[in-house]
Structure 1
């Protein structure tokens, strides 16, 4: 029986975006920005806002949070982590929750990043 291969699923998404991704190195230091193509942006859910309220003020509004989906194949070896930074359309976001959406025999293929507006 053949194992499921999801490594090329990034090519099937509609309206892909390119984001800038910076890995957090220390408290206030980030790696050089790397372009990540074939990402998707989605609205946050009520569950996302509830989960974020554990880290951020209870008054977090939907406009202060967003979700990015990124594929392992397009991350050039970067492993998404909490406190990393994403920039899209001039707005900076801090990764607060990293979830794995697609996993196959080769490991995680798509990550769901729940982000809040960057407070620099």
Structure 2
């Protein structure tokens, strides 16, 4: 699995029970024949959480669409395919369940689904 800083939503972002918005990633419009994977891992999290994936045609997300939600089990490697419907830019938002710990989440071309 290759981890690229340009494809990272969160890098050890502190969880505190509020929604966190990750970095915007420019992916290019359209759906790939082999979709990207999103990989998420929490460390010392107080609870399971979730990541909502949003997409937009513009980097400022003036208008956006939610294309999926991924359940993130605490302290486990979580892998899912990015849902279809990419409009060119993606961003991730955390859920509010976990009040402590950190989260990392990124896109990659290769990952094993668990």
Q: Structure 1-normalised TM-score?
A: 0.30
**Greater RCO (Cα-Cα under 8 Å, separation 6 or more):** 2
Which structure shows the bigger proportion of residues in helix conformation?
1
Larger Rg: 1
Q: Structure 2-normalised TM-score?
A: 0.31
